[in-house]
Amino acid sequence: MASLKRVNLMLDEGLVERLRREAREQHMSMSEMARTLLDRALGRAREPAETLERLRRLRDSFGPMPDSAEIVRKDRDRGW
């Protein structure tokens, strides 16, 4: 990933709230959401390695997935 530089932006409060809401819905930080939106607007595609890393972080944020084998066995034993 390219090096990042901190910038100070003045944005309308409504825009900040929309950015915050969209970032939360996409499980991203506001900075990551702003970078993604700017990259799209400027026609710059995200590198595949960046996308893969983001997906890994997202998956890890949910923790381990539960094992459903026991539930499947019980349902099978009940004849479902």
Domain boundaries, the chain: 13-63
Q: What is the pLDDT of residue 40?
A: 84
Tell me which of 6 and 63 has the higher pLDDT. 6
Q: What is the pLDDT of residue 1?
A: 52
Calpha distance 43→58 (Å, rounded): 24
Tell me which of 14 and 48 has the higher pLDDT. 14
Q: Do 33 and 39 meet the contact criterion of CB atoms below 8 Å apart? A: no
Calpha distance 71→67 (Å, rounded): 9
CB atoms within 10 A of CB 19: 16
What percent of the chain clears pLDDT 70, i.e. is strictly above it?
96
